[in-house]
Structure 1
Amino acid sequence: MKVMEELIELHEEHIPGLLRLCRQAGWPDYGEQELRTLVQQGNLFGYQNRQEDIISCIGLFMYDSLASIGLVIVDNKYKRQGLGRRMVNACISQVDKDTSIMLCATKEGLPLYEKSGFQTACSIRKYSCQSFKPITKKHDFELTPFTEMDFRELVAADQAAFGGDRSTLLHDLISQSKESVIARNKEGKLIGYGLSAQTPDNLKFGPIIAPSPDFAAVLINRLAEGKQGPMRIDVPGDSALLHDSLEAMGFHLDDEPPLMLYQNKTLPPRNGQLFALISQGLG
């Protein structure tokens, strides 16, 4: 199978090709809306064959001093030709040396990432739920729907938890979300938030920012209660204390892929309040 030598930038007109790759890879979370967000918010690249069909893709997402690589797919017919390695190296070359680069590795991609200089830092816990069970936890904060007046405080809370500025991305995610919930304490200070989004295959939760695992569980319960159908949430591996609450709500641990960092770099300072990711690619 012949491949065009030049790595090209991918834009909205390439979404049908990206959708085909995601379906082939068995990644049902990515529909047209999700891919449009990735194209608009990140830098996506890929290779074409001689017929100009998209046969590989990769995404690079920048958040100040932190970068994330995701959506790494190579068409089954074009594997073992070095496309994945070339795409990963191209993304690395675009990132400043002082910027940390992270990615969530699949089992298939792990050897490639290790050869490219990535080391395992922690893990991501992938949970799914087929039948949600509401829980009751006492709390003394107020949960309200998001309004534009909340945005500045939400971004500040998110940056302290995530370690990078993703305000532009969050604005898009909130506008596309099924539900966006804000938590404020008795003094009226924003102390957490949570989003849910409907993907083609499930209701997905994230980000979840909260001062404690019990607090995060209350936010997840609020977003999930009364909803029908499959649900999913991706939780940082160091948030193990949330596990019991997720099990009580009917979630099951499906997988725990490694979160990797390039060349022994560390993540930017985080306050320990990130309890769910947007996605494995976006962080």
Structure 2
Amino acid sequence: MTTVDIQVSALEPGDLVQAKGLSDALGWPYRLEDWIFAHGLGEGLALRQGGRLIGTGMRWNYGPSFATVGMIIVDGAFQGRGLGARLVDGLLEGAGDRSVILNATMEGLELYRRRGFVSFGLTCQHQGIAKPVPASDAACRIGFARDADWPALIELDQIAAGMPRRRLLEALAGCGVASVLRGEDGGVRGYAVCREFGRGHVVGPVVAQSADKAAALIAHAMSGLVGRFVRVNTPALSGLGTWLEAHGLLQVDTEEAMVRGTLPEVSAQARIFALCSNSLG
């Protein structure tokens, strides 16, 4: 078959078992549950040859001004035919006037550059078997989130991300456990969400005012995971790399953070120290 026999259509819930097969072939450790979580929050495109799924791409809209894209996969037998470009172009068309943010592998860099994306940093993947972490000075002000904390947590996240991510945070509240750093008045000053993902657990997003407070939140989130596999995706300039490696989470990969359009305006009050995932941001 030629590329004209390959159709682009919406990625449906019934496609996700095949989608997991595509990510398995790349060595990406997504569980079916991870696909379901991501698909439920975004909009997906599928490449199909007859009834067979041969490619995927996802976009997550954060309000009227921003979106992220990711989970862009083309079956190895069909690569080199411009099919990845078809997926990316479809995702960008659906984004409208939104600025679009992504984390690019080396293989995708030129494709994104030709579409107006520019680099603004690196995202580092840290993972490994979690080691015990000594308590920090901030540990006495960190505990697990209560239901009543989530509105304040969502508000803090918007300040740090510069875009509305309520749906993402509400979904994380349903599948993860949040560690919260409190101020002297008891208000939420930072948070870290830990959830099952891939080969074990992922800690992210992590929002805090400084790297030491972010490290204390990650330590609390990992406190029940000593000896288990943990992953953290963090901006290279977070200042957390050495600390993560000292506690068993080695840097195993980097991706180029890119944007087409403008980056969100963020506050000095708090910033993102770890991502929910490289696709969702």
Structure-1 residue corresponding to 2:95: 95
Distance 1:130 1:217 in 2: 16
Structure-2 residue corresponding to 1:217: 215
- Identity rate, percent: 27
Q: Output the TM-score relative to the length of structure 2.
A: 0.93
Distance 2:124 2:17 in 1: 29
Secondary structure at 2:72's aligned position in 1?
strand
Q: What are structure 1's unaligned runs of at least 5 residues? A: none
Structure-2 residue corresponding to 1:193: 191
1:269 aligns with 2:233: no
Question: Structure 2 matches for 1:71-110, cutoff 5 A?
Answer: 71-97=71-97, 99-110=98-109
Partner AA of 2:184 in structure 1: K
Q: Output the TM-score relative to the length of structure 1.
A: 0.92
Matched-pair contact (CA < 8 Å) for 1:141–1:184 = no
Distance 2:241 2:13 in 1: 38
How far 1:136 moved relative to its partner? 2.8
Partner AA of 2:85 in structure 1: R
Distance 1:9 1:250, change over 3 A: same
How far 1:103 moved relative to its partner? 0.7
Question: Structure 2 matches for 1:1-283, cutoff 5 A?
Answer: 1-2=1-2, 4-28=5-29, 30-50=30-50, 52-64=51-63, 65-97=65-97, 99-139=98-138, 142-177=141-176, 179-227=177-225, 228-239=227-238, 241-262=239-260, 265-271=261-267, 273-283=271-281
Matched-pair contact (CA < 8 Å) for 1:126–1:235 = yes
Distance 2:242 2:78 in 1: 42
RMSD of Structure 2 on Structure 1 (CA): 1.6
How far 1:5 moved relative to its partner? 4.0
Distance 2:222 2:95 in 1: 37
Would you say how many aligned residue pairs link Structure 1 and Structure 2?
276
Question: Greater helix share, 1 or 2?
Answer: 2
Question: Greater strand share, 1 or 2?
Answer: 2
Distance 1:187 1:70, change over 3 A: same
Cα deviation code 1:20-56 (max 9, x no counterpart): 111011110x211111111111001011112x11100
Partner AA of 2:92 in structure 1: I
Matched-pair contact (CA < 8 Å) for 1:45–1:87 = yes
Secondary structure at 2:221's aligned position in 1?
helix
Cα deviation code 1:153-184 (max 9, x no counterpart): 0111001111111111211122111x221221
Distance 2:28 2:245 in 1: 24
